[in-house]
Structure 1
Amino acid sequence: MTTPADSTPTLVVGEALVDAVSKPAPDGSDTDTQEHVGGSPANVAFGLAALGHRTDLATWIATDERGRRIEEVCERRGVRLTPGSQGAPFTSVAHARLDPTGAATYVFDLEWQLAAVPDLGGYGHVHTGSIAAVLEPGGSAVRRTIEAARATATVSYDPNARPSLMGHPDQARRTIEATIALADVVKLSDEDIAWLCPGEDVDDVLTAWGALGPAVLVVTRGGEGAQVRVTRTAESRSLPAPGVTVVDTVGAGDSFMAGLVSGLLDAGLLGGPSARTALRAASLYDVLPAVERALTTGARTVERAGAHAPGRADLA
């Protein structure tokens, strides 16, 4: 866990916003609401940077007070905003309410577009996910960007379904599957599958989605750990989650995603066309260390309030 980070330039494409988080008081009413910089793709970018990877973020924020706060956090965490990311009329907000177990539900006030990313061919890996890959008009621009990036970069994708924003699951599934077909690695949750594919067996879903193109698919199961499937060999394994005391689950899936990408980058299984070839030849044994790193980064995050991004020293 102490080895230097892979130096592949990595681009994360997607929403950066402000999480306005409310915790319930004992009588069920809200306590004071606290605002934190977040957004699923932004959290992945922060997680990758915390793990030592060179990371840029292509997003859509305004030059308002919340947008300036996002800029400051990006600078402090070593994530560079790509040119064109600051053209929004306002900075998006996710209103999160925590239940007594620490689980979050969201209501969104957002605007999403994507400016052209300069020097796209300079990146060895590109990650996208969540609202940005579905919500128009930016969703189509995200898919065009990912498709163009594939010539020089590997691609990872986290659907991170938000039912309140993504419309009917049948329609969302078609859009999400179009992005899955462009990805080398897909991570999703069991809740994503339950919403997108109601009544379908998880193994059947992973088999069908693997046939679309991804070499590796990983399903997170909250406190029960994760399942990983390698498309080429049809190998599959479930791994337990580390035992931790949960403070809240904000950003846990994003931290898992950052750990997964980080582990695969370090292993030479992401990071350009040659890495894509290596990933497609990889066995389950080859990818398990990256999944174990992802489980650890996710565990370190739920032990802390908010979307904590663990560094390598936290992984020991």
Structure 2
Amino acid sequence: MTSPDAHVLVIGECVADIVRTDGAPDVVHPGGSPANLAYGLARLGRSAVLLTELGPDANGRLIRAHLESAGVEVRAAEAARTPSAVVRLDGQGRARYTFDIGWTLPPTDLTTTPAAVHLGSIGAVSEPGAASVLALVERWRGRAQISYDPNVRPALMGERAQAVRRVERCVALSDLVKASDEDLAWLYPGEPAEAVAERWLTLGPTVVAVTLGAEGAFALTSDGGREQAPAVPVAVADTVGAGDSFMAAFLHARADGTDLRGCLTQAVTAAALTVSRPGANPPSAAELTAASARYSEAGAR
């Protein structure tokens, strides 16, 4: 096998998000948590490869063109149809999803070891494709940095206890894990998010980050460290893709050697930019740099 390449390999689903609001026509946005993350990394200047499935249909062509426009290299097995989700927005722009998704990624043999691997959401826990995802992750564990975002979709997770076992298997394979407080509340009802993060650290990761919506985010480390960053106040258009933008910016900053607090600050800023505009529309590197400077100056006043 060749030496590690500089790219980040993202493994998981693409989804056509059909955004539906009362009194307005449907709008289709390219989506899917792993696809959004790959797109976000590419927008920030990272070399990103997405291993996924797409159907031979209009939604598949739309998603491929969208990803490639940012520079993502798309390696897609052919599915019968491209997965889709009807996204309904409430009065605060919060998204609720109804899915039409299958995940059947076949066993895959990639010859180049990436610098980092990201797995998450439906593709990491939905069979039969999840077996192929985990086989690749297990193969590269210890040779590439592994990150994971469960991005819980209750309608697709099945019985809770089984879902927890699948999620915890992915946590144990990972170096860095990010989850939202909503993810953790569904997986572990009634447990404080920080207690769950501490327990996850005992499974193997060195960092667990938790997003808290309007309260910002915190991260814990396996050596006892803790950092927190407040949210950036913005007018919310919708929350689609916010967590994926957070994760992309966090991984980007971490790869640059930024300290943990700096990673969190860049990540919450990227999420704020994303929720300020419709759809999963993460910032470019220039937008993130400019926004970080603005918010830093405002905080210093």
Normalization by structure 2: what TM-score? 0.91
**Displacement of 1:65:** 1.8
1:132 is aligned, of 113, 123, 139, to 123
Which residue is 1:11 aligned to? 9
Distance in 1 of aligned mates of 2:192 and 2:221? 17
1:255 is aligned, of 245, 260, 272, to 245
Which residue is 1:166 aligned to? 157
1:246 is aligned, of 236, 251, 271, to 236
SS of corresponding position for 1:32: coil
Which residue is 1:208 aligned to? 199
Distance in 1 of aligned mates of 2:172 and 2:21? 38
**Displacement of 1:241:** 0.6
Distance in 2 of aligned mates of 1:152 and 1:263? 20
CA contact (8 A) 1:58 1:117 kept: no
Whether 1:80 and 2:53 are equivalent positions in the alignment is no
SS of corresponding position for 2:273: helix
Kindly report the root-mean-square deviation, in angstroms, between the aligned alpha carbons of the 2 structures.
Answer: 1.4
**Against the structure 1 CA distance between its residues 168 and 120, is the aligned structure 2 distance closer, same or farther, given a 3 Å change threshold?**
farther
Q: List aligned pairs for 1:22-33, cutoff 5 A.
A: 22-25=20-23, 31-33=24-26
When structure 1 is superposed on structure 2, of 117-126 and 243-252 the one drifting more is 117-126
CA contact (8 A) 1:15 1:42 kept: yes
Which residue is 2:32 aligned to? 39
**Displacement of 1:231:** 1.2
**Displacement of 1:198:** 0.8
Which residue is 2:295 aligned to? none
Deviations 1:205-258 (A, max 9, x none): 1111101010000000111100110112x2223320111111111110110010
Distance in 2 of aligned mates of 1:239 and 1:309? 19
**Displacement of 1:196:** 0.4
Whether 1:312 and 2:285 are equivalent positions in the alignment is yes
CA contact (8 A) 2:9 2:51 kept: yes
CA contact (8 A) 1:24 1:99 kept: no
Whether 1:61 and 2:61 are equivalent positions in the alignment is no
SS of corresponding position for 1:57: strand
Distance in 2 of aligned mates of 1:33 and 1:16? 19
Whether 1:98 and 2:89 are equivalent positions in the alignment is yes
SS of corresponding position for 2:143: coil
Q: Which runs of 5+ in 2 are unaligned?
A: 291-301
Which residue is 2:296 aligned to? none
Distance in 2 of aligned mates of 1:236 and 1:16? 33
CA contact (8 A) 1:180 1:186 kept: yes
Which residue is 1:279 aligned to? none
CA contact (8 A) 2:227 2:260 kept: no
Whether 1:265 and 2:263 are equivalent positions in the alignment is no
Q: Which runs of 5+ in 1 are unaligned?
A: 1-6, 26-30, 269-285
Identical residues among aligned pairs (%): 44
SS of corresponding position for 1:238: strand
CA contact (8 A) 2:84 2:101 kept: yes
Distance in 2 of aligned mates of 1:120 and 1:34? 38
Distance in 1 of aligned mates of 2:39 and 2:251? 12
Distance in 2 of aligned mates of 1:123 and 1:176? 23
